[in-house]
């Protein structure tokens, strides 16, 4: 009997061992069970692998909110050697340890990209009555690699190494669970619940509060751009914005009447200062009980259709504030509330009265809606289309898309949404809210490109025609410094369009001691430097509370600050052909406009550089982020305290400041190329720090050797003049190429091929510029034009003379420059 028991135990042992060592090949990869965990490896493409893990035998259906790609047929091999099963495509090798469960990723040459530290962790979790898990996965990173992304954080730092992030969407923090590495891979953690990312010397981990499974993607792009391209292939491509969105935008909190709003546009036209858009902020609907009614119920806006027409007649555009919540007296609230489409937690505003602090005896009753519910999104668009879109308004300022979650209680996460508890889907709120508007507008019309300005984002939102701004940030130098790495990490999260409130949102401290804060030199200096930074972001938009930001508030023509503002706006417009062509590269080639230096230069000194970046492939931007003329006032406020004008503190009125004095700052020029000072044409070899002279109207800008940059005409709005007389600057010292893109500037005909490209190629050895045959066509395309060619060399061509003027009729031209 004992012998039989022994044989039985041996058989059981081998059976268990055999089960642990087994796997099943599928069309996409393999399936296996390891240490009581179901594991599935799927090739979504030759460069992208999906990993799914769940407790053994637990069935579930996971439909991603971010991923839109379906797996493509990929040729791959599977080989087993000992405990290791290796899957290999023509781009990537994946090893699965059938004993420990650890998964490792390699290039085809055998270089390890990333490895799990250990198997998955599933901890039982009761999610508002649903049995699920808290999930955790640890990875091992190379100690010398740097990682970036995970959305926007106000940390003032670029690299994510040795960082812990509590990833829950907020006003000024937008979390996108996608990171990229200097080793050439990207990692997307596909989970929507509150999560913690932590990188320590021992491990790097993602831990999410709830999840039926662990679901992540590894993609190997070879470099940061390639990994971003893989992520967009997975979650959606970024469409083209209209040309007018790249001009200058004026806003404030808020224009209180129809006459005031139209008057701002009229004043810019009178002054001859370029302007393409104006924004109407909140309360055009009236009181807070009518919050976000999406109708002009405020009597100060008596004829909104005429208002829109007046703005359009001045060749400007209007976008308008809409929110993710509704007041109890709105039609939307009354339609959604009986259907359970509202989320009853504290949000902005907290009082039905306009007062600070909020009068809690008169609660606003405002509640966010459930954007996870398709019917709720239909209702949202129905009212938006009828109340605003029908008026011809050009785009949407979707505020509080995180949304505001005030007086937070843990039980708020138990609230039911269409897709389960709010906890389960919390971080995807902006994707669903913004995506709902984008999808409905695109279905309604293809004549006008979708343009959405929004305060929050999630993975995949680049496909929605949205530009995310950094929230209600403070008006301080430290806040300005924070915006650069915040924006760079955001754009490295595969969402290319980002901007900030130029001047910072909460600026009340600068009113102390001044009848007008715009006359306070401390604010003037900060504002001008922020504006110069904003000129080199994907959207140049001035906005804030307490201090009006229209140019005429800062003085008049001929005065130093006014002229510095006008010069910066005009510089932005001269670069529109460069910017618009770069935006086409975003759509067509998965490019990124606002670029961390580490994306373009193999230079260890730029891996964690927080104060410089590339704008497109040619322009290095080094914003002035420290006060040079005034004391650097410490200003602290947030979305709660910033509205409290009584507590505003700041510098008292003092002596006049001489903004005409020259100053200087240090700039690092990356190695591997030569650089041209944009203002003087001085040529400097990279790989060193220099001291650059600055003035209040100029920041350090450097052009990479081998660049070709088109400059547009002086205009009052983006489409005022055709690009029939462009200046083409060639920065010698290296070979270069640039493709000029043109289309109808608005509508989706470009998707049908209605656009043209002209490629300029520079051969530095021969000093020859080749202008290619024009490719493509579109209605209204120029048949003939002039290109004024200027070869930039150190100390050469600072006058208005050109080296060549070429009449171009769409056929190839080769010209040698002196």
Q: Rounded to an integer, what distance in angstroms lies between the CA atom of residue 806 and that of residue 476?
A: 48
| Confidence at residue 623, expressed as pLDDT on a 0 to 100 scale | 98
Q: Confirm whether 24-235 and 243-600+628-647 share one CATH topology.
A: no
pLDDT for 731: 97
Domain ranges of the chain: 24-235, 243-600+628-647, 601-623+662-818
Q: Is 447 a catalytic residue?
A: no
pLDDT band at 61; cut points 50, 70, 90:
confident
Q: Choose among 181, 197, 178, 192: nearest CA to 235.
A: 178
**Which pLDDT score, from 0 to 100, does residue 374 have?**
98
- Report the percent of the chain where pLDDT is more than 70: 95
The mean per-residue pLDDT over the stretch 544-568 comes to 97
Q: What CATH number has the domain spanning 24-235? A: 2.60.40.1760
Active-site option among 173, 174, 190, 472:
472
472 is catalytic: yes
As to burial, measured by CB atoms within 10 angstroms (0-12 exposed, 13-18 middle, 19+ buried), residue 613 is: buried
Beta bridge partners of 399: 323
Distance CA 729, CA 727 (A): 6
What's the CA gap between 569 and 567, in Å, rounded?
6
Token couple for 818: 């002196």
Point out the least confidently predicted range of 47-61, 393-407, 533-547.
47-61
> Which residues neighbour 737 within 8 Å (Cβ) at sequence distance 6 or greater?
708, 759, 760, 761, 762
Q: Are 267 and 552 in contact, with CB atoms under 8 Å apart?
A: yes
With cut-offs at 50, 70 and 90, classify the pLDDT of residue 645.
low
The pTM assigned to this predicted structure is 0.96
| Mean pLDDT on 328-347 | 98
Read off the pLDDT of residues 488-525 as tens digits, 9 standing for 90 and up: 999 999 999 999 999 999 999 999 889 899 999 999 99
pLDDT grade for 654, boundaries at 50, 70 and 90: low
pLDDT band at 698; cut points 50, 70, 90: very high
| CATH class of the domain whose range is 243-600+628-647 | alpha beta
pLDDT of residue 8: 39
State how far the Cα of 613 lies from the Cα of 683, in Å rounded to an integer. Answer: 19
Spell out the alpha helix ranges (H) of 610-700: none
3-state secondary structure 306-333: HHHHHHHHCCCEEEEEEECEECCCCHHH
Q: Which of 212, 399, 651, 727 is catalytic?
A: 399
Active site residue 276: no
Residues 6+ apart with CB under 8 A from 155: 163, 482, 485, 486
With 70 as the cut, is the pLDDT of residue 224 above it?
A: yes
**C-alpha pair distances (Å), 631 with each of 299, 455, 498, 638, 816:** 43, 31, 29, 22, 52
Measured in degrees and rounded to the nearest 5, phi and psi for residue 699 equal -115, 160
Which superfamily does 601-623+662-818 belong to? Golgi alpha-mannosidase II (2.60.40.1180)
The answer to whether the beta carbons of residues 56 and 221 sit under 8 Å apart is no
Tokens 């008596």, located at residue: 302
**Res 616 pLDDT > 80:** yes
Which residue among the candidates 40, 173, 402, 563 is catalytic per the annotation? 402
The predicted structure's pLDDT at residue 2: 42
The overall average pLDDT reported for the chain is: 94
């Amino acid at each position: 009997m004992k012998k039989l028991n022994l044989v039985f135990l041996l058989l059981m042992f081998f059976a268990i061992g055999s089960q642990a060592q087994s796997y099943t090949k599928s069309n996409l990869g393999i399936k296996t069970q390891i240490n009581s965990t179901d594991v599935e490896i799927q090739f979504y493409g030759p460069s992208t692998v999906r990993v799914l893990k769940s407790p053994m035998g637990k069935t579930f259906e996971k439909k991603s909110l971010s991923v839109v790609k379906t797996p493509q047929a990929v040729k791959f091999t599977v080989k087993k050697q000992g405990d290791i099963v290796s899957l290999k495509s023509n781009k990537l090798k994946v090893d699965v340890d059938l004993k420990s469960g650890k998964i490792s990723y390699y290039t085809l040459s055998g270089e390890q990209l990333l490895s799990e530290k250990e198997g998955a962790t599933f901890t039982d979790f009761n999610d508002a009555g649903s049995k699920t898990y808290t999930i955790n996965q640890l990875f091992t990173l190379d100690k010398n690699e740097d990682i970036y992304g995970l959305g926007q954080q106000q940390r003032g730092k670029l690299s994510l190494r040795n960082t812990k992030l509590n990833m829950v969407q907020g006003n000024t923090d937008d979390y996108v669970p996608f990171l990229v590495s200097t080793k050439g891979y990207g990692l997307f953690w596909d989970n929507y619940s509150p999560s913690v990312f932590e990188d320590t010397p021992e491990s790097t981990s993602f831990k999410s509060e709830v999840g039926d499974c662990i679901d992540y993607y590894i993609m190997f792009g070879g470099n940061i751009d390639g990994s971003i391209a893989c992520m967009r292939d997975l979650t959606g491509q970024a469409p083209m914005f209209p040309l007018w969105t790249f001009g200058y935008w004026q806003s404030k909190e808020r224009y209180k009447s129809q006459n005031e709003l139209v008057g701002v546009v009229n004043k810019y036209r009178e002054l001859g200062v370029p302007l393409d858009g104006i924004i109407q902020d909140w309360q055009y609907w009236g009181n807070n009980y009518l919050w976000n009614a999406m109708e002009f119920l405020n009597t100060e806006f008596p004829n909104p259709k005429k208002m829109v027409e007046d703005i359009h007649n001045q060749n400007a555009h209007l976008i308008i504030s809409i929110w993710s919540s509704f007041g109890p007296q709105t039609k939307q609230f009354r339609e959604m509330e009986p259907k359970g489409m509202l989320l009853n937690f504290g949000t902005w505003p907290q009082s039905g009265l306009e007062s600070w602090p909020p009068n809690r005896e008169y609660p606003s009753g405002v509640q966010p809606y459930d954007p996870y519910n398709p019917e709720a999104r239909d209702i949202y668009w129905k009212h938006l289309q009828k109340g605003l879109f029908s008026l011809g308004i050009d785009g949407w300022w979707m505020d509080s898309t995180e949304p505001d979650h005030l007086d937070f209680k843990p039980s708020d996460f138990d609230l039911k949404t269409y897709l389960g508890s709010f906890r389960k889907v919390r971080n995807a709120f902006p994707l669903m809210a913004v995506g709902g508007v984008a999808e409905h507008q695109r279905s309604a019309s293809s004549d006008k490109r979708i343009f959405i300005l929004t305060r929050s984002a999630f993975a995949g939102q680049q496909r929605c025609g949205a530009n995310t701004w950094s929230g209600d940030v403070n008006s301080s130098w430290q806040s300005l410094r924070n915006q650069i790495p915040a924006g760079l990490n955001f754009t490295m999260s595969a969402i290319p369009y980002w901007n900030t409130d130029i001047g910072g949102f909460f600026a009340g401290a600068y009113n102390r001691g001044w009848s007008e804060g715009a006359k306070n030199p401390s604010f003037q200096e900060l504002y001008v430097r922020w504006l110069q930074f904003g000129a080199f972001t994907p959207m140049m938009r001035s906005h804030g509370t307490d201090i009006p930001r229209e140019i005429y508030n800062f003085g008049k023509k001929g005065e130093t600050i006014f002229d510095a503002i006008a010069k910066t706006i005009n510089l932005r417009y001269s670069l529109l052909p460069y910017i618009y062509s770069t935006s086409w590269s975003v759509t067509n080639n998965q490019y990124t406009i606002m670029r961390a230096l580490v994306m373009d230069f193999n230079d260890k000194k730029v891996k964690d550089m927080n104060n410089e970046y590339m704008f497109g492939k040619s322009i290095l931007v080094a914003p002035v982020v420290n006060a040079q003329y005034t004391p650097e006032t410490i200003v602290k406020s947030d979305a709660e305290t910033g509205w409290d004008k009584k507590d505003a503190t700041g510098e008292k009125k003092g002596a006049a400041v001489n903004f005409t004095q020259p100053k200087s700052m240090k700039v690092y020029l990356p190695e591997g190329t030569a650089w041209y000072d944009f203002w003087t044409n001085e040529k400097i070899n990279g790989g060193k720090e220099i001291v650059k002279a600055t003035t209040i109207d100029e920041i350090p800008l450097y052009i990479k050797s081998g660049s070709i940059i088109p400059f547009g005409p002086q205009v009052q709005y983006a489409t005022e003049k055709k690009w029939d007389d462009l200046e083409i600057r060639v920065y010698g010292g290296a070979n270069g190429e640039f493709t000029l893109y043109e289309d109808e500037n608005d509508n989706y005909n470009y998707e049908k091929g209605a656009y043209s490209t002209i490629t300029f190629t520079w051969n530095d050895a021969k000093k020859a510029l080749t202008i290619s045959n024009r490719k493509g066509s579109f209605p209204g395309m120029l048949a003939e034009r002039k290109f004024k060619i200027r070869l930039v060399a150190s100390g050469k061509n600072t006058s208005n003379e050109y080296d060549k003027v070429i009449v171009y009729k769409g056929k190839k031209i080769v010209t040698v420059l002196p």
